[in-house]
Structure 1
Amino acid sequence: MAEYLSPGVYVEEFESGAKPLEGVSTSTAGFIGLAARGPVAGLPVLITNPADFGRVFGSYLSENAFGTYRYLAYAVNQFFANGGSRCYVMRVAPEDAKAAQSGDDQAVLSVSAKNPGAWGNQIRLTAAPSSKAKTPIYEALDGKRYRVKNASGFYPGDVVLFTDGSSEQYGTVVSVHDGVIELSEALSGEVVDTNLVPAKVLQTSEFTLQVAYGNEVEVYEKASLNPESPNYIEKLIGKSSLIDLTVQSQAAGAEAPFARIAANGASFALSGGSDGSAASLSAADFIGVDEGPGQRTGIQSFIDNDVVSIMAIPGVTDPNVQLSLVAHCETLGSRFAILDLPREATKVQDVLAHRELFDSSYCALYNPWLQVFDPLDKRNIFIPPSGTIAGIYSRSDTTRGVQKAPANETLRGVVGLDVQYNNGEQDILNPAGVNLIRAFTGQGIRVWGARTCSSNTLWKYINVRRLFIFLEGSIKNGSNWVVFEPNTEQLWARVQRTIDAFLTRVWRDGALAGSSPSEAFYINIGRSTMTQDDIDNGRLICEIGVAPVKPAEFVIFRITQKTGSE
């Protein structure tokens, strides 16, 4: 309670009404797969267009080298072509992939590519001498101490060069205080120069490092080998997206590192990078490992991401990987998995055999594979449908809303199908929860199914599950303000008003069935949902029921003959 200690008028603000709930995004996709370059651990990378993907993860992979593991780039491209706006990508690399490195083990700088892959063999580095500070010496004091005109920019540990125009002397700064610099070794000869334009100067010895990969160039000016310097090279390179760098031991003497860099001056290239082989890949590489925040790989890396709502691993149909992805989606409860079938699974019995592996409302299966143009080989190829379907999910959410089943939608950039299924075959596959992609005369190629892989008929439609993901995520994210509030009738009323306003808006958008809000949903909170024991143990329980709209999957027109007497 506020304290009032002196007479006067006090104005206070307080909150009593509902707090608006904002709907969470349902159109952000997450992809996992092989790429030419890019990080293999840590947080997934946000990609907003195909050019972004190319800059971070490189171009398309060769079919000869990686076979069915190479479809990540194609899936991301199809995602954006079909209406996707943003996605997160995590790269997987074969176990035998290697990062390119600098060749000389005795070099001052040990350099390696930021991540594994043959791409690193194209990185070139150029080191050129430079200086961040220089000054004339005004007075030689006792020992190795020198009073200078300007000591700014000199730090203990800096390698310095003294030149009088004809000779050079190297040393190391021991201390800097009140315009006096103490060196590790005394300078020989006459070092004082008080002329207006000095010929003798003491300067720090740094270098400018240029890192080039194709059209991507990073320049680090006035880099220092002194760990105490603000421009220490390891600190600067920490921002690089191309290389990692460490300074080797300086046992040869303080001034030796710079002297060796200056002597080597010319550029050098990294080498030894390898993309690895498809034979060394296993399900474990895609499932990933959880070594704590910032070190997770594969599917596990998406634990740290709370934005993604659609997940896919394009072309990877190993049951262990797909089941792990589904389990990931079920555990988090905030995302939906799009699964591919093996390309060779074209017969109905083969499709059903793969379908029987799953029973979850958090995933959907799509078949067959799609024919698209391959920019790498300049010909049409077949790719898995998951990337294209993820784009359609995103497009449908944006244009119609998450309540609309992502079906009867055209596929962009697709020129054909690997298999043409007929009505009889779909009569078998559709009830089993396999969503077919079919070509219709004059209507293009369309998604012709909207079912999950669940045996629970309450959750058989994709849009119902994804609507609940949307509602649950929105209510969860928008209700953090309730935590630790006094658990009283006033709080219950505010929570009810908040959720009522949100669900009413959702109903008006057409996501809930019913001619009125009371038919579309109900909210129970208070003594009807909580006991005194719940309240004593800090629990606030709110029961919400909603009536989701269901898709018109079977449209039936009953036609009869009208006689003249009727």
Structure 2
Amino acid sequence: MLTLSTGAYGPYAGGTIVERVTLGNTGLAAKQLTSNAAAGTTVIALDNRVGLNVGDVLSLGASPDEEYVTVSSLPNPSPGGAAPNAGNVVLEQGTGRAHASGEQVRQQNTATVNTAAPATSVLLDVPKGGTGVAVTDGTGYALNDLVRLTTSAGDVTYHRISAAPDNLDARLVNLTVPLSRAHAAGAELIERAPLINVQALDAGQWGNRLRVSAEDEPSGLVSRTSVGGVIGPNTIRLASAAGVEAGTVLEVFDPATGAAVGDPLKVTSIDRASNYTITLAGAGITPAQSAPGLLVRSREFRLTVVLLRQPDPALPSRNENVIAAETFRNLSMDPRHSRYVEKVVGDVNGVLRLSDRRPEGESWYVRVEDLETVLANQEAVRLGPETLVDTLPNGRQRPARHALAGGDDSMGTLTDATYVGVDDVEPENRTGLYTMTTIEDVSLVACPGQTSPAVQGALIDHCELMRYRFAVLDAQRPPDDTLTDVQTQRQQFDTKYAALYHPWLLVPDPYPVNLARPADYSVPPSGHMLGIYARTDVERGVHKAPANEVVRGILGLQRTLSKGEQDILNPYPVNINVIRDFRSNNRGIRVYGGRVITSDSDWKYVNVRRLLIFLEHSIDRGLQWVVFEPNAEPLWARVVRTVSDFLTVVWRNGALEGTKVEEAFFVKCDRTTMTQTDIDSGRLICVVGVAPVKPAEYVIIRIGLWTAHADV
């Protein structure tokens, strides 16, 4: 790395030739500037131009402010070039420094290449005014050497090396995420310190679809006001203090150009009781910032979070489509500020909400962490993340979207224990199935695709414990789904609170690689069965068996079963419910079984078991008004009347047998159902009996011969 004493006279692109040269004064007498020359000027005025020619290299000033320029033209010469021929000299490049009137200007002889140092080239683009030049080979270059730079366009400039060359330590760098686009050799890399850590609200691969962009807030909380008075360097008043609070960063700017004047100011406090006196941190406001005509604004930033569409191998062009977005405006990096980024978006390490075990925050998708942990540094001037832009293929620009990475569903780490979970005295500490014990309005439970005895046994235990729930179980997944496999699975359980369904179903691949020929995707039947249960409950009632119902939204079955195979799986006591294909009879694919996996024949039908669950739960809830009422005959009569009225409605809906209510149910609540000891112990016992309707599982038609004869 070569350090130039004067900034680059123009941009030096990668590949610009660099040579070590020697220049010396010619015998021509020194000239003098007759007026000040500002930095960047291309015209200088000399007292004598005799002997100068276009293309000459001139030295201006003396070390360490010496620089070299090239003559472009000598306008308006004196008649015949007579001495002293004073006038202007036009330069090929603007000067890199300012030079005072009277400084000497000397003509240089032709440059001689110094072969002690090999010619080299610029490695990385150097912007105009840049002083650092990375070269491919710095061997032989030293402090105070003069170098000549020749661009591809033929422009030639000269520079003095102002510091000992620094060897570059070039090596491979491994990136944590791949580059999203190609970059040309020589593209500039700038190191940036991380400021905020952004983390997806929940674990999983879905977080990889999140993109976060940061940009300066164009209109801050303090958008445009003026300094109303300077009490001291650290104490001021503004014409309007609206939007100012502890932690606010104020910026003084020139309204004519919009350029900032001086460094930003940090507000430590505002005394509203003392005419809104504002106290500033550090050195406070400078005299230049107090000048008339300047305005004050606050500096905040905004974060935008977008969620992209699920990646689709068949249509990758749609992967960048935004399906949800949220924006948080006027954010601050100061913990004292009401819009501190962790307060608004949500702190990664914040206190967990009892409702969902997530940190408090306004964002639906992310939580953030301020990576600065020292309070003094947190309260210093920090303007927020740098505003970067993405240039789209159509040339338009948008705030750079930073992708979240590292999200993993970790499906391989899921075990039976993950689904079963752990119980705890504190409800918020429960996991797995145990989290549902605190939710009352659950009637059906399933764990689609999980066919292990541990998980399905836990589902059954959960339903038996909660009393008013019923489990829907999946048969073994393919290819371990033969009749023997399914029967072996069934033999592990004997319960009145679960039903088992076989086989698995086929649906279209939701993300096919080939749209023209999407593959079939195997799914467990429990998800569709829960939908059929719900549909039957709504359309017919809980007393109707969820059987002989069409399974919608599927392509077929993983295994086709015939009547002979159903006759093995469905009858008591096996009680496995079969899903069969009746499309050859124009009847679709139907659930053709409605049995419970129990050895108790009284409870073998799903609709009977669920009807009794419904009745028990409804009566339990409907009699809560009885608690702490006087436990005597008037109360018992009211209980009988309440339960009878409810069961009468159920009977009229067709859920109970009998042509009259006496045949459908009975309700007793008197001294025959409870003893004096029960009454003294605060127990009210009501006995209810019902006759639920059973499904017509088999249709038997008896046909006999009948001989017709005539009666005379």
TM-score, length of structure 1 as denominator length:
0.74
Q: Do the aligned partners of 1:250 and 1:256 also contact (CA within 8 Å) in 2?
A: no
1:211 equivalent in structure 2? 305
Quote the Cα distance in structure 2 between the aligned partners of 1:173 and 1:162.
17
Q: Do the aligned partners of 2:475 and 2:502 also contact (CA within 8 Å) in 1?
A: yes
Quote the Cα distance in structure 2 between the aligned partners of 1:248 and 1:125.
17
3-state DSSP of counterpart to 2:541:
coil
Match for 1:551 among 695, 700, 712? Answer: 695
| Corresponding letter in the other structure for 1:352 | Q
3-state DSSP of counterpart to 2:212:
strand
CA gap of 1:264–1:482, structure 2 versus 1, over 3 A, is farther
CA gap of 1:264–1:373, structure 2 versus 1, over 3 A, is closer
Quote the Cα distance in structure 2 between the aligned partners of 1:518 and 1:230.
70
Is residue 393 of structure 2 the alignment partner of residue 259 of structure 1? no
Deviation at 1:387, TM superposition (A): 1.4
Is residue 402 of structure 2 the alignment partner of residue 269 of structure 1? yes
2:234 equivalent in structure 1? 144
| Corresponding letter in the other structure for 2:213 | T
1:170 equivalent in structure 2? 265
Q: Do the aligned partners of 2:470 and 2:610 also contact (CA within 8 Å) in 1?
A: yes
1:363 equivalent in structure 2? 498
CA gap of 1:547–1:231, structure 2 versus 1, over 3 A, is farther
Deviation at 1:434, TM superposition (A): 0.5
Is residue 210 of structure 2 the alignment partner of residue 123 of structure 1? yes
1:311 equivalent in structure 2? 445
Quote the Cα distance in structure 1 between the aligned partners of 2:215 and 2:380.
15
2:331 equivalent in structure 1? 223
Q: Do the aligned partners of 1:368 and 1:418 also contact (CA within 8 Å) in 2?
A: yes
Correspondences of 1:71-90 after superposition (within 5 Å)? none
| Corresponding letter in the other structure for 2:204 | G
Match for 1:456 among 578, 600, 603? Answer: 600
CA gap of 1:494–1:144, structure 2 versus 1, over 3 A, is farther
Is residue 433 of structure 2 the alignment partner of residue 433 of structure 1? no
3-state DSSP of counterpart to 1:326:
helix
Deviation at 1:212, TM superposition (A): 1.4
**Which string of whole-angstrom CA distances, capped at 9 and with x for unpartnered residues, describes residues 395-433 of structure 1?**
111111110111111222333223233333322211211
**Which string of whole-angstrom CA distances, capped at 9 and with x for unpartnered residues, describes residues 269-310 of structure 1?**
244424355443311122223464345443233223322322
3-state DSSP of counterpart to 2:542:
coil
Quote the Cα distance in structure 2 between the aligned partners of 1:485 and 1:247.
58
Number of residues of Structure 1 aligned to a counterpart in Structure 2: 459
Quote the Cα distance in structure 2 between the aligned partners of 1:257 and 1:122.
33
Which is further off, 372-381 or 325-334? 372-381
Q: Do the aligned partners of 2:253 and 2:295 also contact (CA within 8 Å) in 1?
A: yes
Quote the Cα distance in structure 2 between the aligned partners of 1:371 and 1:481.
49
**Which string of whole-angstrom CA distances, capped at 9 and with x for unpartnered residues, describes residues 502-549 of structure 1?**
211111111111212222222222433333443443333322222211
Quote the Cα distance in structure 2 between the aligned partners of 1:513 and 1:184.
85
CA gap of 1:167–1:263, structure 2 versus 1, over 3 A, is farther
Quote the Cα distance in structure 1 between the aligned partners of 2:451 and 2:546.
22
3-state DSSP of counterpart to 1:258:
coil
Is residue 665 of structure 2 the alignment partner of residue 521 of structure 1? yes
Is residue 522 of structure 2 the alignment partner of residue 382 of structure 1? yes
**Taking CA–CA contacts closer than 8 Å with sequence separation of 6 or more, which of the two structures ends up with the larger relative contact order?**
1
| Corresponding letter in the other structure for 1:244 | R
Quote the Cα distance in structure 2 between the aligned partners of 1:472 and 1:534.
21
3-state DSSP of counterpart to 1:172:
strand
| Corresponding letter in the other structure for 1:337 | A
Is residue 624 of structure 2 the alignment partner of residue 480 of structure 1? yes
Q: Do the aligned partners of 1:137 and 1:191 also contact (CA within 8 Å) in 2?
A: no
Quote the Cα distance in structure 2 between the aligned partners of 1:109 and 1:485.
61
CA gap of 1:126–1:347, structure 2 versus 1, over 3 A, is closer
Correspondences of 1:320-331 after superposition (within 5 Å)? 320-331=454-465
Quote the Cα distance in structure 1 between the aligned partners of 2:427 and 2:287.
58
Q: Do the aligned partners of 2:249 and 2:265 also contact (CA within 8 Å) in 1?
A: yes
- Indicate the structure with greater helix content: 1
| Corresponding letter in the other structure for 2:222 | A
Is residue 374 of structure 2 the alignment partner of residue 241 of structure 1? no
Q: Do the aligned partners of 1:112 and 1:270 also contact (CA within 8 Å) in 2?
A: no
Deviation at 1:438, TM superposition (A): 1.5
Quote the Cα distance in structure 2 between the aligned partners of 1:421 and 1:129.
65
**Which string of whole-angstrom CA distances, capped at 9 and with x for unpartnered residues, describes residues 114-156 of structure 1?**
2223332332211222322354332233573333333333333
3-state DSSP of counterpart to 2:496:
coil
Quote the Cα distance in structure 1 between the aligned partners of 2:372 and 2:665.
69
Quote the Cα distance in structure 1 between the aligned partners of 2:681 and 2:285.
76
Quote the Cα distance in structure 2 between the aligned partners of 1:536 and 1:232.
62
Q: Do the aligned partners of 2:266 and 2:381 also contact (CA within 8 Å) in 1?
A: no
| Larger radius of gyration between Structure 1 and Structure 2 | 2
Deviation at 1:263, TM superposition (A): 6.5
2:433 equivalent in structure 1? 299
2:470 equivalent in structure 1? 336
Quote the Cα distance in structure 2 between the aligned partners of 1:439 and 1:329.
31
Deviation at 1:492, TM superposition (A): 3.4
Quote the Cα distance in structure 2 between the aligned partners of 1:127 and 1:277.
30
**Which string of whole-angstrom CA distances, capped at 9 and with x for unpartnered residues, describes residues 200-245 of structure 1?**
22x4432111011211211011123344444332232213222121
Is residue 281 of structure 2 the alignment partner of residue 281 of structure 1? no
| Corresponding letter in the other structure for 1:417 | L
User: What is the root-mean-square deviation in Å for CA atoms of aligned residues?
Assistant: 2.8
Which is further off, 422-431 or 484-493? 484-493
Q: Do the aligned partners of 1:374 and 1:381 also contact (CA within 8 Å) in 2?
A: yes
Unaligned residue ranges in structure 2 (runs of 5+): 1-190, 255-259, 309-321, 346-360, 390-398, 513-517
Quote the Cα distance in structure 2 between the aligned partners of 1:274 and 1:169.
38
Match for 2:588 among 421, 444, 459? Answer: 444
| Corresponding letter in the other structure for 2:367 | D
Match for 1:396 among 518, 528, 536? Answer: 536
Q: Do the aligned partners of 1:172 and 1:255 also contact (CA within 8 Å) in 2?
A: no
1:421 equivalent in structure 2? 561
**Which string of whole-angstrom CA distances, capped at 9 and with x for unpartnered residues, describes residues 2-54 of structure 1?**
xxxxxxxxxxxxxxxxxxxxxxxxxxxxxxxxxxxxxxxxxxxxxxxxxxxxx
3-state DSSP of counterpart to 1:168:
coil
Quote the Cα distance in structure 1 between the aligned partners of 2:381 and 2:502.
60
| Corresponding letter in the other structure for 2:414 | L
Which is further off, 133-142 or 513-522? 133-142
Quote the Cα distance in structure 2 between the aligned partners of 1:117 and 1:471.
41
Is residue 251 of structure 2 the alignment partner of residue 153 of structure 1? no
Q: Do the aligned partners of 1:114 and 1:241 also contact (CA within 8 Å) in 2?
A: yes
| Corresponding letter in the other structure for 1:273 | G
CA gap of 1:173–1:459, structure 2 versus 1, over 3 A, is same
Deviation at 1:268, TM superposition (A): 5.1
| Corresponding letter in the other structure for 1:110 | N
3-state DSSP of counterpart to 2:647:
helix
CA gap of 1:365–1:123, structure 2 versus 1, over 3 A, is same
TM-score, length of structure 2 as denominator length:
0.60
Quote the Cα distance in structure 1 between the aligned partners of 2:364 and 2:343.
13
| Corresponding letter in the other structure for 2:494 | D
